[in-house]
Amino acid sequence: MVRDPTATESLPTAKDICAALDDPDCREIIRNLEEPMTASELKTSCDIPQSTLYRKLDLLTESTLLEESTEIRRDGHHASKYAIAFEEISLQLDEENELTVAIDRPPQTTDERLASLWSEVREEV
């Protein structure tokens, strides 16, 4: 499965973002993601139990703070890789004094734009 935060129709709520960032394990995962990593690599670098790690990765990807992609391996044992999907997060009060969230995302690479375009073409066929 690939979860691309830029392909999400709606932004996560401020509550979802705050819940993910309030979690110490989630913050530890983000701190350790200097480059894309598999869950196995994150388990080693973060020292988080595997079952907990997968729950936190789901929380972070659902809140669009992480991007999940698939690493294709020759042996057929493909693995998900996770990368940080934001550069800055801003919480603001709107006109009704409700919290809103704005997420500044890094620009897509040429490969990412091509993959996105190819996905859209495949969906239409």
DSSP sequence for the chain: --B-GGG-SSPPPHHHHHHHHH-HHHHHHHHH-SS-EEHHHHHHHHT--HHHHHHHHHHHHHTTSEEEEEE--TTS--EEEEEE--SEEEEEE-TTS-EEEEEEPPPPPHHHHHHHHHHHHHHH-
Cβ proximity of 63 and 20 under 8 Å? yes
Identity of the amino acid at 8: T
Identity of the amino acid at 54: Y
pLDDT digits 0-9 by tens, 41-78: 999 999 899 999 999 999 999 999 999 988 777 787 77
**Residue 41 CB coordination number (10 Å):** 16
pLDDT digits 0-9 by tens, 88-119: 999 899 999 988 888 888 876 777 667 667 76
- Report if pTM > 0.85: no
